[in-house]
Amino acid sequence: MQRVERNRTGSGNTVKVWDAVIRLFHWTLVAGLVTAYISGEVHASEIHVLTGYALCVLLAIRAYWGFKGSEYARFRSFIFPASETRAYVRSMFEGHPGHYFGHNPAGALSVFALLATVALLLITGLATLSVIDFEGPLLFMANLVSDETSYSIRHIHEFIPTVGLALVAFHLMGVVAGSIQHRENLVKAMITGKKKLADNQDKYEEH
| Tens digits of residue pLDDT in 79-90 | 999 999 999 999
- Separation CA 32–CA 52 (nearest Å): 8
Judge whether 96 lies within some domain: no
In a domain, 97, yes or no: no
Dihedral over alpha carbons 147, 150, 156, 158 (to 10 degrees): -100
* Partners of residue 15 on adjacent β-strands: 6, 195
Is 175 contained in some domain? yes
Q: Is residue 184 part of a domain?
A: yes
Contact indicator for 111, 41 with CB cutoff of 8 Å: no
Residue 164 lies in a domain: yes
Write the pLDDT tens digit of every residue in 3-53.
444 443 334 578 889 999 999 999 999 999 999 999 999 999 999 999 999
73-132 confidence digits (pLDDT tens):
999 999 999 999 999 999 988 888 888 889 999 999 999 999 999 999 999 999 999 999
Q: Is the dihedral of CA 35, 38, 41, 45 positive or negative?
A: negative
- Element (DSSP H or E) covering residue 185: none
Report the candidate in 113, 149, 120, 116 with the shortest Cα–Cα distance to residue 52: 120
d(CA 168, CA 157): 17
Residue span of the structural domain in which 23 resides: 8-74+102-194
In a domain, 205, yes or no: no
pTM across the whole model: 0.86
Per the structure, the count of domains in the chain is 1
The answer to whether residue 84 is domain-embedded is: no
Q: Is residue 206 part of a domain?
A: no
